[in-house]
Structure 1
Amino acid sequence: MRVHIATDHAGLDLSRYLVEELVAAGYDLVDHGPAEYDALDDYPAFCISAARAVREDREAGLDSLGIVLGGSGNGEQIAANKVRGIRAALAWNLDTARLARQHNDAQVAAVGGRQHPREEALEIVKAFLAEPFSGEERHARRIGQVAEYEATGTVAGRLEELRPREFPAAREA
């Protein structure tokens, strides 16, 4: 399996550790940067590059996933999710990593480099990489609805039938 990885300065040490450990475990790694520490770097370009490469690999029929790292993983997840067709999930423990693959067929995991000891982060990443998509109809249907909205701006027959309920604040007499 090919793994695309990207980070910013906050995840750089973790990224280097993960690359070393994952290569030793038999994964093919592609590092989208940065190459060196710069406290003023910006994560979006690195993470978008990794997510685009995952999408391109998968479109070409290659087994490929991505890992994006930062201080919290939140911004990196948001950036990766801006790549059309990519589902990136914040993986903050073993269950969220596995469920991202099982239920959401996420192709990219975001991990907060400042949130975990490096050994724990490695286990989260390995859980994500090892877990297959369940293929269950309900999960595939939901993923299809998200993709439909991404492509068309609507979910046929779904958004129109939802009516939000309002609860006005209590007013003092």
Structure 2
Amino acid sequence: MRVHLGSDHAGLDLKNHLVAWLSEHGYEPVDHGPFVYDALDDYPVFCLRAAEGVAKARAAGGDDLGVVIGGSGNGEQMAANKVEGIRCALVWSEDTAKLAREHNDAQMVSVGGRMHSLEDMTRFVELFLAEPFSGDERHVRRIGQLDHYDRTRELPPLPESAIGLGPDA
């Protein structure tokens, strides 16, 4: 399986570590940069390319996944989620790493290089890559609602229990 990676200067060391770790564990890393430390680099340049790589490979029938890394992981996640067809989850624990795949069928995760130890972040990526999507009907339905909104910008219908309540009333 190919794993696309992108980061900024704050995630460069972890990205470089993950490139080696992925190779050692039978994955094919695809490094979208950066390749040198530049404290003024811009994460969208690299994270959008990683997300595009995942999206294009999956559209062609591949099983590629991706990891984006920054100081907090927030901006990197936002960048990846701008790419059509990508669901990127910010992970900060073993549970969030597994649930990103199991419940949300995320194709990418974002991690904060300044938030956790190298060992913890490597473990989060390991769990994300190993966890399959459950395929449970409720999760498929929810992902379908997100995909439909992405394509059409139409809000999903309110459930019966919410009709007449809230700002849509």
TM-score w.r.t. the length of structure 1 is 0.91
Aligned-residue RMSD, C-alpha: 1.5
Deviations for 1:10-66, whole angstroms, at most 9, x for unmatched residues? 000111111111110010000000010000000012101100110111111111000
Q: Which amino acid aligns with 2:95?
A: D
Query: Which amino acid in 2 is paired with 1:137?
Result: E
Q: Distance in 1 between matches of 2:5 and 2:70?
A: 11
State the partner residue of 1:61. Answer: 61
The one-letter code sitting in structure 1 at the alignment partner of 2:84 is R
CA displacement, residues 116-146 of structure 1 (integer Å, 9 cap, x when unaligned): 1111110000000000100000000000000
Match of 1:23 in 2: 23
Identity between Structure 1 and Structure 2 (%)? 58
Matches within 5 A, 1:103-114: 103-114=103-114
Supply the distance in 2 between the matched residues of 1:140 and 1:111 (Cα, whole angstroms).
25
Which ranges in structure 2 are unaligned for 5 or more consecutive residues?
none
* 2:5 is the alignment partner of 1:5: yes
Which residue number corresponds to residue 71 of structure 2? Answer: 71
Q: Secondary structure at the match of 1:30?
A: strand
Judged with a 3 Å threshold, the aligned counterparts in structure 2 of structure 1 residues 162 and 138 are, in CA distance, closer, same or farther, namely farther
Give the whole-Å Cα distance in 1 for the aligned partners of 2:20 and 2:97: 20
Offset, 1:162: 7.2
Aligned length: 165
Does residue 155 of structure 2 align to residue 136 of structure 1? no
Q: Return the match for 1:164 from 152, 163, 166.
A: 166
1:89 aligns with 2:89: yes
Amino acid at match of 2:71: G
For 1:18, the aligned partner's letter is L
Could you give the per-residue CA deviations for residues 78-114 of structure 1, whole angstroms, max 9, x where no partner exists? 0000001100000111100000000000001000001
SS at match of 1:3: strand
Q: Aligned partners of 1:125 and 1:105: how far apart in 2?
A: 14
Note the residue ranges of structure 1 that are not aligned, 5 or more in a row: 166-173
Deviation at 1:155, TM superposition (A): 3.1
Q: Which has the larger radius of gyration?
A: 1
